[in-house]
Amino acid sequence: MISYQSIEINEKKSYGQLLDSCCISDKHIDSMVVDFLGKYLGDLISKVIIEWPYYDQDYLSIYYIHYSKKFKNYPKYCYRLHFISRRGEYCGCTVLRPIIIGKKMGKTYIKPELLLKERAYLVRGEYNVHIDGMEELVDAFPWMMQDTDITTCAHIAVWSVLRYYGNRFVNYSCPTLGEIVENVHEEWGRKTPSVGLTPIQVSEILSRYGFYPIIRGGNKNKTDLLLEETFAYIESGIPIIAMCESKQHAFSVIGHGEIKKDILDNDEYVNKIREPETNIILHSKLINSIYVMDDNCFPYRRVDKYIDSESDVPYSMYEISYVVVPLYARMQLEYHEVYNRFIGLVKYGGMKWEGTRIVRIYLTSSDLLKNYAKSQGNMSSILKNIIIHLNMSKYVWCIDTSDVEEYKEGKVSGKVIIDATAGTKDGEPWLLMHDKGEVRFYDVLKDTNEIIKNINIEPYAEYAHNLDCIEVYNKEEMR
């Protein structure tokens, strides 16, 4: 019979009851679990519900290919902890596995609002959790610790990304950890014990699950360009797998931190980050942090451009050596090709503006883009009608431009839409472009470019459907 037992949480020390009580086997819990929960959830949680036994699909998948072959006995069952906030909200759960000390936390879904210290923009999905005959929903991103023997940090990063896609999109599956391990290419040596994965191996695994991944990086002199490209894919709502050669470590990148719009009031700094030929400032230049799911740290850790002594994460953004981006088959045109074409367009007068322009580049689906346009009450009716009825590829690149004041207000006054299926040598991938007085678009049925001139396009709200803006809970109100 499945049992549920509750422990009341009044202070951080209350989590010690999980370790001291006889309700959880000492094979499944250790002081690291208690310390993590006390440090990060603390007194924001009012109750922990202990579920036993819980047969976790991911743990069982590595149990049968690894732990069942051990001389020592490893149980097949797990515990699962459910977290209830002081508001009475269901906040998520974590699985406790009977493996080595310091690595016992398995599949975990926790609401990021509990763990953030400032506003963040994250990729996340909705996960179903069944508890005592009830179904609860958690908006989260998957996380777990590696076990160090059969799975490494890269396996976990791949698992978290695939679990996100498989849960959110019907055309992707949710492979278990064991299936991911088995899909490592055999020519790289035995699969267990694992010595880690290379970017090529990570890419091969993603390919086996229906992605068309790209690998970027490997040049220490071009880290700034790598980060610009990384931010573009993050802005596209695509979680990526990052690797630090210096730390021999991998993790998934799922979002970014606050946008420092006040930087635009500093003329000296603006001059440093602005492209001198085009007067462009990339949106990514105003963001100094990313958010990662790192198997060595608790979920939703912030990583800054430079190492912060107070950070839980022992690396910086500038230590990222490679990123592996899991693209859909129809996302063929890559970021650097889009950027170079746009810069060429600007230099040759294809877009007309004055002064500094802030530019944000991202991928999205044409369906979401059309729905967004339809909902914009302040968008020019002419522009709205064109976007809604324009034939587009399934996925498109968008380049939004704003002057400084518009950007501070979250508004856009120029946009370029690019066919994501365009070839790398296609010099005219444009589907639509507009500035404040002119709209040009490509009619695929007529195979002609149309131009509407002398119109007045007022700034309209920026597109914000790829990432969730997560506001921090008011900790004092919850206590």
Which residues, including other chains, have CB under 8 Å from residue 118's CB and lie 6 or more apart? 257, 258, 472
Of the chain, the percentage scoring pLDDT greater than 70 comes to 96
pLDDT the model gives residue 24: 87
Mean pLDDT of the chain: 91
* Nearest residue to 50 via CA among 31, 68, 67, 33: 33
Max Cα-Cα span within the chain: 79
Residues of the chain with pLDDT under 50: none
> Would you tell me which CATH number, out of the four given (3.90.70, 3.40.50, 3.30.160, 2.120.10), belongs to the domain 181-329?
3.90.70
Q: Reduce the secondary structure of 398-420 to three states and give it as a string.
A: EEEEEEHHHHHCCEECEEEEEEC
Which tens digits make up the pLDDT trace of 122-173? 999 999 999 998 999 999 999 999 987 788 899 999 999 999 999 999 889 9
**How many angstroms separate the CA atoms of 220 and 314, rounded?**
19
pLDDT the model gives residue 311: 78
- Pairing label, strands 280-282, 357-365: parallel
* Nearest residue to 278 via CA among 347, 181, 216: 347
pLDDT the model gives residue 166: 95
The enclosing H or E element of 131 equals strand 125-131
Which residues, including other chains, have CB under 8 Å from residue 435's CB and lie 6 or more apart? 351, 352, 353, 413, 414, 457
- The one-character DSSP state at 221 is G
pLDDT the model gives residue 310: 73
Q: Is the Cα dihedral 100, 102, 104, 107 positive or negative?
A: negative
Residues of the chain with CATH 3.90.70: 181-329
**How many angstroms separate the CA atoms of 94 and 96, rounded?**
7
pLDDT the model gives residue 201: 92
pLDDT the model gives residue 176: 93
**How many angstroms separate the CA atoms of 261 and 283, rounded?**
10
Which tens digits make up the pLDDT trace of 285-296? 999 999 999 999
* CA 77 from centre of chain: 31
**How many angstroms separate the CA atoms of 301 and 87, rounded?**
24
- Through-space distance between the first and last CA atoms of the chain, rounded to whole angstroms: 35
Burial 150-173 (b: 16+ CB within 10 A, else e): bbbbbbbbbbbbbbbbbeeeeebe
pLDDT the model gives residue 476: 62
Which tens digits make up the pLDDT trace of 313-356? 999 999 999 999 999 988 999 999 999 999 988 888 777 788 89
Could you give the C-alpha distances from 173 to 161, 165, 166, 231, 427, in angstroms and in order? 11, 8, 4, 26, 36
pLDDT the model gives residue 40: 94
* CA 445 from centre of chain: 36
Classified as helix, coil or strand, 110 is strand
Full-prediction pTM beyond 0.85?
yes
